[in-house]
Amino acid sequence: MKLNDEEKDILAGKAGFVPQQALQHQIKVGEFFGAEDLVPVSQAHVMADTESLGEAGVRWLEGLAATADGQRRVRIPTITDPRGTDFAKADLLGQTSTMLDLERRAIAAFVKLGVTMTDTCINYQTIQAPTRNEHVAFGDTGVVIYSNSICGARSNFEGGPSALAAGLTGRTPRYGFHLPETRRASLRVRVDFTPTTLNGWGALGGVIGRLAGNYWSVPVIEGIEGSPRSDQLKHFGAAMASFGSIALFHLAGLTPEATRLTDVAAADLPVVRATRADVDNLQRSYHTDDQVDVVVFSAPQLSLFELRDLAELCDGRRFTVPMLAVTSPQVKPDADRMGYTARIESAGGSVLSGMCFYQSYAREISEANGWKRLATNSAKLVNILGGYGYRPMLASMESCVDAASSGRLART
Amino acid sequence: MSARIFRARHAMGPTVRGPTLVAHDGFSARYDLNRINGVFSRPTHKLVGQSYAGKILVLDTAKGGVATAWMLHEMQSRGIVPLALVLNSVNPILAQGAALGDVAMLAGFDEDITAAIPHGAEVEVNPQAGVLTLLG
């Protein structure tokens, strides 16, 4: 890879051990993908829940953080994805003191590195959305796909170590979705309906993710009517990224790089169809039981509007199974102030903050609480949780709230 | 019978030799594995129930989210980790995870590598040379 003088100095250790290590990691990854050089980035977003890091990852972070002050801090705004707990609700989740200690150690290390602990996967709704052509190093797949597709920013999937490296060096290898040619559509999908529910948008994202198949595939989608809302596209993108490892999509006539189909695709790109039946089939395939043990709204964290809608559905209810709603530390105070938290919790639900359900020792909290049959309106969540031993079921927010009341999930 | 050699366009990590687990399916450490027990745990995965420790995984493509970038390092620290990852295509997360965890990886072949390599075969992964060798 070509390095400029500043990068050569970092690699030589003149800026200290931590940036040197970071750049070595970036060069290894960049050369794997044939990157010619590095591109400056303006923001980084680090996924680092401690179930993923484990003891080894936390020790690795602590090793970086033990470096002398002045040689270990990030150079650009560097923020965090959800943590592995909400410390105020850890007992409710059945998390152990070992898990919480590991979380505290990771947080202390990140703070020493200068990382801003935002603990959110909806930073594009709550912190600062990137702008068109802004090169960033984001590290939650839902964040990346939304930033690339809806905002027109440029990011690859940056896992925790690489996003942190980008924060420490202020750059990232220039490959993948930093390059204009990689952002052209490779799959043309025509849909025959426009979903109205968040689970419907997520399921459609899942169907298209499966069709697309791998990270390097870029779908352009035709047939969406109206102007989808941010929360709808949040679920759509998060599910597409989850089911297909997709980092960028275009909506013809809607998203910034696809004013016209031919802006991003050859006119003769073959059409693949995604139908309402495909979406219904995906949702039905997860409905494997009628009883539920827990209801979860998470993945991505809920916006203030989602919490408002949920609060309205909770009025006058008395839940018979646990109902968890997970949001960001930026949204939670507003939800408290608007009374949404109190309305949800009056019905027996719980509003958690700064974590995400699947990133919070999902297997262990399942075993601790006897949670197997889980109802959610998040297509992303149902795609993830099978491997953790759950039987996840996908339904509308309304049906999930009904299930929290009755313990039964109605079939549609 | 002479060894068959397959060239990869992308490679990193140490040279290793071992038995394969092969499936035309995806890979994500978070979505697909019980990392405590060292087995594939996703019910719909074609390798569900099989132990991956010390095996060379030959799979189609990377799936899912970003957690694998940390998880390969964590799995390596406990010695319950695949010996190597061989895929038709990878996403940045697998490459980043292999880089941090020092796990051998090859990706990008001229043929479907999951069809070319038999399940259970003995292979050598040589990232320096960018080749996968089907032994014996």
Distance from CA of A243 to the nearest CA of B (A): 6
Angstroms from B6 CA to nearest CA on chain A? 17
What pLDDT is stored for residue B123 in this prediction? 98
C-alpha dist (Å) from residue A201 to A39, A187, A250, A312:
34, 19, 15, 21
Q: Of the candidates A57, A162, A242, which has its C-beta nearest B73's C-beta?
A: A57
Where residue A69 falls among pLDDT bands split at 50, 70, 90?
confident
Contact B91 A48 (CB under 8 A): no
The predicted pLDDT at position A275 comes to 97
What is the distance in angstroms between the Cα of A262 and the nearest Cα belonging to chain B? Answer: 26
Residues on chain B touching A215 (C-beta within 8 angstroms): 61-62, 89-92
Which residues in chain B have Cβ-Cβ distances shorter than 8 Å to A159? 66-70, 92-93, 96-97
Cα dihedral B52→B53→B55→B59 (10° resolution): 30
What percent of chain A lies above the pLDDT cut of 70? 100
From the CA of A188, how many Å to the nearest CA of chain B? Answer: 21
Q: Do A215 and B95 touch (CB under 8 A)?
A: no
Query: Does A24 reach chain B within 8 Å, measured CB to CB?
Result: no
Q: Which residue of A has its CA nearest to B79?
A: A56
pTM: predicted TM-score of the whole model, two decimal places: 0.97
pLDDT at A70: 86
Q: Mean pLDDT over residues A184-199, rounded? A: 97
Q: Is A148 on the interface with B (CB under 8 A)?
A: no
How many contacts does A have with B, using Cβ atoms within 8 A? 138
State whether A47 and B67 contact (CB < 8 Å). Answer: yes
Contact B96 A139 (CB under 8 A): no
Task: Select the residue from A1, A27, A29, A102 to test the B interface by mutation, using most B Cβ atoms within 10 A.
Answer: A29
Q: Do A52 and B77 touch (CB under 8 A)?
A: no
Q: Is the pLDDT assigned to residue B46 strictly greater than 90?
A: yes
End-to-end CA separation in angstroms for chain A: 55
User: Does the fold of domain A286-406 match that of domain A5-179?
Assistant: yes
Q: Report the gap between the CA of B118 and the closest CA in chain A (Å).
A: 23
Rounded to the nearest angstrom, the minimum Cα separation between A318 and chain B is: 33
* pLDDT tens per residue across span A28-67: 999 999 999 999 999 999 999 999 999 999 999 999 999 9
Q: Which of B34, B69, B89 sits opposite A162 (nearest CB)?
A: B69
* B-chain residues near A363 (CB < 8 A): 34, 36
Q: Hey, is the C-beta of A40 within 8 angstroms of any chain B C-beta?
A: no
State ipTM.
0.95
Is A286-406 in CATH node 3.30.499.10?
Answer: yes
Set of chain A residues whose Cβ sits within 8 Å of the Cβ of B44: 386
List, for residues B60-116, the tens digit of each pLDDT value.
999 988 999 999 999 999 999 999 999 999 999 999 999 999 999 999 999 999 999
* B32 contact residues in A (CB cutoff 8 A): 387
pLDDT value at B1 more than 60: no
Interface of A with B in 162-201 (CB under 8 A): 162, 176
Pair A302, A386: CB distance under 8 Å: no
| Interatomic CA distance for residues A371 and B43, integer angstroms | 17
CATH class of the domain at A5-179:
alpha beta
Please tell me whether residue A28 adopts helix, strand or coil conformation: helix
Residue B114 CA to its chain's centroid (Å): 11
Q: In whole angstroms, what is the distance from residue A127 CA to residue A44 CA?
A: 12
CB contact under 8 A, B92 and A140: no
pLDDT in tens, A144-164: 999 999 999 999 999 999 999
- Within an 8 Å CB–CB cutoff, is residue A139 touching chain B? yes
Residue of A nearest to B10 (CA): A32
Distance from the Cα of A48 to chain B's closest Cα (Å) equals: 8
Give the C-alpha separation, A64 to A21, whole Å.
9
> Which chain B residues contact residue A140 at CB under 8 A?
65-66
**Banded pLDDT at B136 (limits 50, 70, 90):** low
Average pLDDT over residues B44-69: 95
Domain definitions of chain A by residue range: 5-179, 184-283, 286-406
Average pLDDT, stretch A215-232?
97
Instruction: For residue range B116-130, list pLDDT tens digits in order.
Output: 999 999 999 999 999
**What residues have CB less than 8 Å from B129, skipping those under 6 apart?**
none
CB-based contact (8 Å) between A384 and chain B?
Answer: yes
* Residue A19 structure tokens: 């940036």
User: Of all residues in chain B, what percent carry a pLDDT higher than 70?
Assistant: 98
Complete domains list, chain B, with CATH: 4-134 (3.50.30.10)
In B, minimum Cα distance to A61 occurs at B70
Mean pLDDT over each residue of chain A, to the nearest integer: 97
